[in-house]
Structure 1
């Protein structure tokens, strides 16, 4: 909840598909996902028994949706972070290790992203790629 006590869009959204996830940062999504996982496990304290696990599996679906949304958002953030690493002299091998990709996969993801940038940014980004 916000400081005004109003629920955030993520707190009230019914999550059954990736498109149901409102704009939120990774931390907010991770907290919401953890709440669903806690209910599945029955570990949420202070809730009535009937609210600790959903019989229809909606908590499991919501946790899956949020896990996917987190992954997508992190993947979208990878190329700009790769650019920062390259600017500071890090190698493709280091970037590949950090992202769990091969050097070729990391380089391909980065250059594909760089091709979407405006002229000056694209030139700089591709120059960093080597």
Structure 2
């Protein structure tokens, strides 16, 4: 809830596919996903037992949707972070480990992203890639 007591778009959205997720930050999505997971586990405090978990599995679907949306958003944020790591002398092996990828996957994702940049950023980003 916002300070005005109005629900946020993420709180009232029906989440059945990643496209249903309104614009939200990773932290907000993670908190909402945790709420759905808690409902599945029956651990939400202050709710009557009949409201703790949904019998139709909508909390499980919403948690899956939010997990996917978080992964996509984090994936979009990875190449700029890789660029920062490269600029500070980190290796592709270190970057790949941090991103949960192989060095080849990390380098390919970064290069594909760098190719879409405008000059002179593209040249500098590709130079960092080695």
Residue in structure 1 matched with residue 34 of structure 2 by the alignment = 34
Q: Any unmatched runs of 5+ in structure 2?
A: none
Segments ≥4 residues shifted beyond 4 Å: none
Q: How does 1:1-130 map to 2 (within 5 A)?
A: 1-130=1-130
Residue 45 of structure 1, CA deviation: 1.2
Residue 49 of structure 1, CA deviation: 1.3
Measure, in 2, the Cα distance between the counterparts of 1:78 and 1:28. 19
Aligned length: 130
TM-score, L = length of structure 2:
0.98
Measure, in 2, the Cα distance between the counterparts of 1:83 and 1:113. 10
- TM-superposition CA deviations, 1:66-121 (whole Å, max 9, x none): 00001111111000000000111111111011111111110000000001111111
* 3-state SS of paired residue (2:126): helix
TM-score, L = length of structure 1:
0.98
Measure, in 1, the Cα distance between the counterparts of 2:91 and 2:62. 38
Cα RMSD (Å): 0.7
* 3-state SS of paired residue (2:109): helix
Q: Any unmatched runs of 5+ in structure 1?
A: none
